[in-house]
């Protein structure tokens, strides 16, 4: 590699790192608790779990909902959710009127085996919701997400340029060498390079999936306008029907259309997040891989027939796969601990890189007094 080429790569590494470092530190610090989000929520805001009883068979969905709604017959059902990692539980979201905004929603937790209402917790921002908003958009909505997308791309540029510069830097030294006899800054440089190269693959994976996750909101809106809009266009402008089939019939129809999947959530025709003439049943696979992939099934609210089953486009499929890779939540607690340790290592790389830049103009360096062995890194 020529000296001119090295200078170009050094410039890319220096400025891409400097511009994104503070943003990456915020993301790493906020991402650390999100790795353990489920555990934190169980600790800080525990929701009830279905009690252990002799009955292990769920009621008909309509029967369970009828009992769950008995005290609130005036409320209109908006959606259902089967919470992941639980058995016999159903979350029912209701509102005072059709097409209501989420501000007026009420949450009811129902035991599907007997229809008992286990809780009606107030809907509020959870502590992890605040952290996730910071992590995803810096409390700035879509502009914040797009800014973080740009910072993620700069981070990937910094990682790649650092890898290119690492080879000539280590040409005359054994892997993992830390020159302890050299100046403090040189030792920090060796540690920075060693930790950075060790966690290289992880940083690329998390950085790339993080960039994908910042685009979740605009990509989902694109799908709603483009494909979902095309799916429900024949019913556009028509009022919500007075009588609709039961939600149990809608879920059964979706299950028949996708027998290898299970329902994850249902949007009622009364909800503003779906179609006024359809139940939208979101189905999720049973296998470890397909359990991360969702497929919407449109069920005609009047006839109960499936009108369309359309897989999500490739860009949303890629996004669904990237989410568990980003937070390491597909391998249980051991993988989460590994992800947390790698996150801390990334914070160390970012912090040491910032220190190396700030300490670059020390008097010893300006005077040219450099200890023996303190060879200048091409990445500086």
The per-residue pLDDT for range 346-359, each reduced to its tens digit, is 999 999 999 888 88
Together in a domain, 199 and 71: no
Cβ-based neighbour number of residue 235 at 10 Å: 18
Together in a domain, 265 and 134: no
Confidence of residue 202 (pLDDT cuts 50, 70, 90): very high
Looking at the chain, the whole-number percentage of residues with pLDDT higher than 70 is 90
Domain-embedded: residue 234: no
For 50-55, which contacts have Cβ atoms below 8 Å and span 24 or more sequence positions? 50/86, 50/87, 50/88, 50/89, 50/111, 50/112, 50/113, 50/118, 51/111, 53/113, 53/114, 55/113, 55/114
CA distance 311 to 297: 9
Confidence of residue 370 (pLDDT cuts 50, 70, 90): very low
Domain-embedded: residue 60: yes
Q: Would you state the pLDDT for residue 20?
A: 94
* Residue where one domain finishes, among candidates 301, 320, 342: 301
- Helices 216-223 and 141-169, axial angle in degrees (round to 10): 130
Overall domain count for the chain: 2
C-alpha 95 chain-centroid distance: 27
C-alpha 215 chain-centroid distance: 11
For residues 99-115, give the mean pLDDT.
Answer: 86
Together in a domain, 146 and 282: no
Together in a domain, 71 and 109: yes
Together in a domain, 142 and 205: yes
* Residue where one domain finishes, among candidates 301, 320, 346: 301
Left, alpha or beta for 99 (phi > 0: left; psi -120 to 50: alpha)?
left
Together in a domain, 32 and 59: no
The per-residue pLDDT for range 137-195, each reduced to its tens digit, is 999 999 999 999 999 999 999 999 999 988 887 777 788 788 888 888 888 888 898 89
Confidence of residue 369 (pLDDT cuts 50, 70, 90): very low
Confidence of residue 374 (pLDDT cuts 50, 70, 90): very low
C-alpha 254 chain-centroid distance: 26
Domain-embedded: residue 312: no
Residue 200 lies in domain = 3-39+130-215+332-366
Together in a domain, 143 and 285: no
The per-residue pLDDT for range 301-325, each reduced to its tens digit, is 999 999 999 888 888 888 888 888 8
C-alpha 159 chain-centroid distance: 22
Together in a domain, 147 and 296: no
* CB crowding 289-318: b at 16 or more within 10 Å, else e: eebbbbbbbbbbbeeeebbebeebeeebee
pLDDT surpasses 50 at 330 = yes
Confidence of residue 34 (pLDDT cuts 50, 70, 90): very high
Domain-embedded: residue 346: yes
The per-residue pLDDT for range 39-92, each reduced to its tens digit, is 888 787 776 665 655 556 788 899 988 887 887 888 889 999 998 777 788 999
Collect all residues with Cβ–Cβ distance below 8 Å to 5 and sequence separation of at least 6: none
Domain-embedded: residue 321: no
Together in a domain, 102 and 68: yes
CA distance 116 to 125: 26
pLDDT surpasses 80 at 241 = yes
Domain-embedded: residue 220: no
């Amino acid at each position: 590699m020529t000296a001119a080429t090295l200078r170009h790569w050094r410039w890319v590494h220096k400025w891409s790192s400097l511009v994104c470092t503070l943003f990456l530190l915020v993301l790493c610090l906020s991402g650390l608790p999100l790795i353990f989000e489920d555990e934190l929520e169980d600790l800080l805001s525990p929701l009830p779990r279905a009690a252990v009883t002799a009955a292990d068979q769920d009621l008909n969905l309509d029967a369970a909902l009828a009992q769950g709604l008995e005290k609130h017959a005036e409320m209109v059902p908006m959606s259902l959710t089967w919470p992941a990692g639980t058995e016999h539980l159903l979350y029912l979201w209701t509102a005072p009127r059709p097409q209501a905004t989420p501000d007026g929603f009420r949450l009811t937790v129902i035991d599907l085996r007997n229809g008992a209402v286990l809780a009606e917790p107030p809907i509020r921002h959870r502590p992890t919701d605040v952290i996730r908003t910071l992590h995803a958009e810096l409390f700035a909505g879509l502009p914040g997400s797009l800014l973080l997308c740009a910072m993620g791309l700069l981070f990937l540029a910094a990682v790649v340029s650092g890898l290119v510069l690492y080879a000539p830097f280590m040409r005359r030294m054994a892997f993992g060498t830390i020159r302890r006899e050299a100046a403090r800054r040189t030792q920090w440089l060796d540690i920075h390079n060693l930790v950075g190269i060790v966690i290289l693959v992880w940083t690329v994976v998390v950085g790339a999936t993080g960039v994908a996750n910042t685009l979740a909101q605009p990509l989902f809106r694109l799908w709603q306008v483009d494909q979902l809009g095309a799916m429900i266009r024949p019913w556009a402008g028509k009022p919500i029907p007075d009588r609709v089939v039961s939600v149990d019939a809608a879920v059964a129809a979706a299950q028949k259309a996708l027998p290898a999947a299970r329902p994850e959530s249902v949007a009622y025709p009364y909800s503003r997040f779906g179609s006024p003439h359809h139940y939208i049943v979101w189905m999720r696979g049973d296998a470890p891989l397909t359990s991360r992939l969702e497929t919407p099934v449109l069920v005609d609210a009047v006839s109960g027939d499936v009108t369309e089953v359309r897989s999500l486009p490739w860009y949303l499929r890629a996004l669904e796969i990237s989410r568990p890779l980003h937070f390491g939540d597909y391998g249980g607690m051991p993988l989460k601990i590994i992800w947390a340790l790698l996150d801390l290592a990334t914070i160390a790389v970012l912090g040491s890189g910032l220190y190396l830049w700030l300490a670059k103009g020390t008097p010893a360096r300006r005077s040219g007094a450099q200890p023996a062995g303190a060879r200048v890194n091409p990445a500086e």
